[in-house]
Amino acid sequence: MRHCNFTFRLFVFTLAIAGLSVGCQPKSNTSSPGHDHSGHDHSTQDHDHEHLPGAHGGTIVALGADSYHAEAILEGDGTLRLFMLGKDESRVQEVDAQTVKAFAKHQDSVDSKNIELLAQPQQGDSQGKTSQFVAKIPEDLLGKPIRVTIPNLTVSGERFRVTFELQAGDGHETMGKAATASEEETLYLTPGGKYTAEDIEANGKAIPSIKFKGIRSNHDDKPMPGDKICPISKTKANEQFTWTVDGKSYAFCCPPCIDEFVRSAKEQPDALKSPESFIKE
**pLDDT tens by residue, 140-180:** 888 888 999 999 999 999 999 999 998 754 444 444 445 56
Mean pLDDT, all residues of the chain: 79
> What percent of the chain stands above pLDDT 90?
50
Among 46-50, 269-273, 274-278, the minimum mean pLDDT is found in 46-50
Torsions phi, psi of 240, nearest 5? -75, -25
Whether 46 shows a pLDDT value over 60: the answer reads: no
- 74 and 164 inside one domain: yes
Q: Is 232 or 102 the better-scoring residue by pLDDT?
A: 102
175-189: pLDDT as tens digits: 444 556 678 899 999
Question: 64 with 166, same domain?
Answer: yes
Is the domain of 260 the same as that of 211?
yes
User: What is the reported pLDDT for 9?
Assistant: 45
Residue 8 lies in a domain: no
What average pLDDT does the segment 79-94 reach? 90
Query: Greatest CA separation found in the chain?
Result: 103
pLDDT at 14: 39
Tell me, yes or no, whether 233 lies in a domain: yes
Cβ-proximal residues to 235 (8 Å cutoff; 6+ apart), any chain: 175, 219, 220, 221, 223, 229, 253
29 versus 147: which is more confidently predicted? 147
Residue 243 pLDDT > 90 = yes
Boundary residue ending a domain (147, 170, 193): 170
Residue 42 has pLDDT above 80, yes or no: no
236-262 mean pLDDT: 93
In this predicted structure, the answer to whether residue 220 has a pLDDT above a threshold of 50 is: yes
How far is the C-alpha of 119 from the C-alpha of 117, rounded, in Å? 7
Q: What pLDDT shows up at residue 149?
A: 96
| pLDDT at 262 (0 to 100) | 96
pLDDT of residue 55: 56
In a shared domain, residues 140 and 188 = no
Q: Is the pLDDT of residue 3 over 60?
A: no
Which range marks the domain in which residue 92 is found?
59-170
Output 181 or 237, whichever has higher pLDDT: 237
Q: What is the mean pLDDT of residues 7-32?
A: 38
Same domain, 69 and 162: yes
3 assigned to some structural domain: no
Q: Which residue has the higher pLDDT, 67 or 173?
A: 67
**How confident is residue 30, by pLDDT bands cut at 50, 70 and 90?**
very low
Query: 204 in a domain, yes or no?
Result: yes
**pLDDT band at residue 242 using 50, 70 and 90 as cut-offs:** very high
Within a domain: 15 = no
Q: Is residue 29 part of a domain?
A: no
Q: Decide which of 170, 190, 225 is a domain's last residue.
A: 170
Residue 23 maps to a domain: no
Number of structural domains in the chain: 2
For 13-40, letters b (16+ CB in 10 Å) and e give eeeeeeeeeeeeeeeeeeeeebeeeeee
- At which of 170, 199, 223 does a domain end? 170
